[in-house]
Structure 1
Amino acid sequence: MTELRSLYPAIEPFESGMLDVGDGHAIYFERSGTPGGKPAVFLHGGPGGGFSANHRRLFDPACYEVTLFDQRGCGRSTPHAGLEANTTWHLVADIERLRERFGHAKWQVFGGSWGSTLALAYAETHPERVSELILRGVYTLTQGELDWYYRFGVSQMFPDKWEGFLSPLKTAEERADPVSAYRRLLTGEDEAAKLAAAKAWSIWEGSTITLLPDPALLAGFADGHYALAFARIENHYFFHHAWLEEGQLLRDAHRLKGIPGVIVHGRYDMPCPAHYAWALHKAWPEAEFHLIEGAGHAYSEPGILDRLIRATDGLG
């Protein structure tokens, strides 16, 4: 059998800083790899998840010059957990600001989970700026996908975890529409209730993204500082359907024509059903499509990670 590929060795950025993007927001960015190498930008998940040092390791540092950044309100960007002027289209504009700042005519765009949503929104808006597109755990943010994860679907697979997710919601009305009910808690004045809700929202996701339980990963989702930004921003985006028209990203997939791409998706991805990745594959047949057996949602699933490293190598 072919040995599975894994992350490149740990690497430190050669540049980091804050970029004032207006609207009271400043985003933290890093650049790693080889200055002057093949340009790429990494788009993290959530929304509100931030990037980690391990995300630098998805790219061959001898080949790539990679830009990573914490999207508005999360990670080391400021203000922490801020929702004002924080929409999909603000983030698309931020990606363009970074590209222009670093002088790239085009760059490879790599996005996983929510990052795949943002990557599609960016690539369909600025196809002339995308050299290649790598998508993992495809999420097109339709009502069907939201209902699957926050109403009926994953709740049937994880009834014990679902009970924990519903615990901050006290009435049948709230439990019938968790996204709206959580919004009231996450934007309310009761700080204790806000933090409890943030942890419950975040732990639900951390409990369902891997094929097998991963206690170390779950511990990160349970951290209060992380959970507050993650839950507030993710709920904010999902409550507003990410400021996308229903089905927009699949509808406009024709704009990706001519962009080389790779789609990587776990067969047992709970947050992001494989149906939508398959639909994108049919709408954008030029892209390689890899449905990974024995894998859930997280990029760290061995089969998914192997295929992602092969993708960045192959397109490098």
Structure 2
Amino acid sequence: MDFSKLRTTSKVTTEWSYPQGQPLRTGWLRVDTAPDHELYWEEYGRADGEPVMFLHGGPGGACAPVMSRFFDPDRYRVILFDQRGCGKSRPTVAADGPDKALANNTTDHLVSDINALREALGISGKMHVFGGSWGSTLALVYAIRHPEKVASLILRGIFLGRKEDLLYMYQGNAATYQAQPYALTAPGAYITYPDEWKAFVEVIAPEQRGDMMAAYKAIFDTVPTTDTERAAQLKAALAWSVWEGTISNMIPAAEDAGKFGEAEFALSFAQIEAHFFAHDLFLKEDEITDGVAALTGVPVHIVHGRFDQVCPLTQGSRLVQALEAAGLPPATYVITDAGHSAMEAQTVIALTAIMDGLPRL
């Protein structure tokens, strides 16, 4: 019996409100030397529109033109840019190696880069800051440190970067997997995606599965000198990347991993994430929730998928709790019947509606 017709998609198809536009301008901005980090950026919408700074996920992801479609092109001036080491920014792990791409690549550097890009593009007043997943982390950190520059925060798939948040996604039941692969010995995304988890776990030898993130980073930190070593490193990077890409959608694509299955993207994405995670995202454990009182006067809008397995909904709940405790309840809190990805249909609808409804600057 053919069950293939039962599979549908949770991804956006016809739900977009705005067509795909062409960039008004593109360019690179040098933000550091030794190494010479250069950020690739694109600008969409109207040149004199309300500025929106778009912060992509990861760490290690990249922007794509489709990300400009959340915004009314007749109202907003949308800035997409690839963070250090990501996408078209230079240098990258895949092209230039981790020694260059990961040098001077911390959360503090990324916050500074946002200000450098603002200045280079002539944004002098307040701007909307829009970010999902790691982009929500970076957006919150930026707004807490520079609230005077932020008109509103629009956040999707909240990621607070706590140790328990990382263990949920990357550790799960890995320590007991060899003996009991389907035992629910710890919380984790593996519960919903057991077959995909198998592919991720089995890259690591059983005796090293007590700390999956450390085991993967050890592979990434190795400087390969043979084709066999290079192949092993690429296999690990692809496993890491495809695991996250697959579980980002409530209904994952059956056979197409998209960019997450591409070697160049995976090598950069996996190694940048592992670098940030090994350093606790270069943040204190509760830096965000302890710091939200600084957001007085900054409306916070949150969209979170109920079925998000990359950043479970409890992270959205934790942020809302912190905001309410500070006397700053979110202006919007929408829970969609969706997974993690920004490209989930219900999430696209909610984020676009929020942008359409913001008071004009």
TM-score range, shorter chain: over 0.9
Which of 240, 244, 249 is the aligned partner of 1:201?
A: 240
* 1:157 Cα deviation from its structure 2 partner: 2.0
- 2:221 is the counterpart of 1:187: yes
- 2:292 is the counterpart of 1:249: no
SS at match of 1:252: helix
Would you say the 8 A contact 1:258–1:286 is kept in 2? no
Q: Which residue of 1 aligns with 2:268?
A: 229
- 2:355 is the counterpart of 1:312: yes
Q: Which residue of 2 aligns with 1:140?
A: 160
Distance in 1 between residues matched to 2:218 and 2:200, nearest whole Å: 15
Would you say the 8 A contact 1:292–1:303 is kept in 2? yes
Within-5 A mapping of 1:25-174: 25-81=37-93, 82-104=101-123, 105-152=125-172, 153-172=188-207, 174=208
- 2:309 is the counterpart of 1:270: yes
* 1:48 Cα deviation from its structure 2 partner: 0.9
Distance in 2 between residues matched to 1:222 and 1:195, nearest whole Å: 11
* 1:217 Cα deviation from its structure 2 partner: 6.0
- The amino acid across from 2:107 in the alignment is T
- The amino acid across from 2:357 in the alignment is G
Q: After superposition, what is the alpha-carbon deviation per residue over 1:5-64, rounded to whole angstroms, capped at 9, x for unaligned?
A: 525101111110000011321110111110010011100011111001100111111000
How many pairs align?
A: 311
Distance in 1 between residues matched to 2:192 and 2:199, nearest whole Å: 14
Q: Which residue of 2 aligns with 1:289?
A: 333
**Cα pair distance change 1:11/1:216, threshold 3 Å:** farther
**Cα pair distance change 1:161/1:119, threshold 3 Å:** same
Between Structure 1 and Structure 2, whose CA radius of gyration is higher?
Answer: 2
Q: After superposition, what is the alpha-carbon deviation per residue over 1:244-291, rounded to whole angstroms, capped at 9, x for unaligned?
A: 000111111111121112100000100101111012112221331111
- The amino acid across from 1:121 in the alignment is V
Q: Which residue of 2 aligns with 1:301?
A: 344
SS at match of 2:120: helix
**Cα pair distance change 1:126/1:225, threshold 3 Å:** same
TM-score of the two chains, using structure 1 as the length reference: 0.95
Distance in 2 between residues matched to 1:86 and 1:167, nearest whole Å: 30
Distance in 2 between residues matched to 1:187 and 1:246, nearest whole Å: 25
**Cα pair distance change 1:216/1:120, threshold 3 Å:** farther
Runs of 4+ in 1 over 4 A off after TM superposition: none
SS at match of 2:31: strand
- 2:19 is the counterpart of 1:9: yes
Distance in 2 between residues matched to 1:259 and 1:272, nearest whole Å: 23
Distance in 1 between residues matched to 2:348 and 2:111, nearest whole Å: 26
* 1:215 Cα deviation from its structure 2 partner: 4.7
The alignment's C-alpha RMSD in Å is 1.4
* 1:188 Cα deviation from its structure 2 partner: 1.0
SS at match of 2:209: helix
SS at match of 2:54: strand
Distance in 1 between residues matched to 2:258 and 2:16, nearest whole Å: 22
* 1:219 Cα deviation from its structure 2 partner: 2.5
* 1:133 Cα deviation from its structure 2 partner: 0.5
**Cα pair distance change 1:29/1:216, threshold 3 Å:** farther
Q: After superposition, what is the alpha-carbon deviation per residue over 1:56-108, rounded to whole angstroms, capped at 9, x for unaligned?
A: 11111100011110000010001112111111110000000011112222110
* 1:146 Cα deviation from its structure 2 partner: 0.7
- The amino acid across from 1:9 in the alignment is P
**Cα pair distance change 1:132/1:165, threshold 3 Å:** same
Distance in 1 between residues matched to 2:150 and 2:75, nearest whole Å: 17
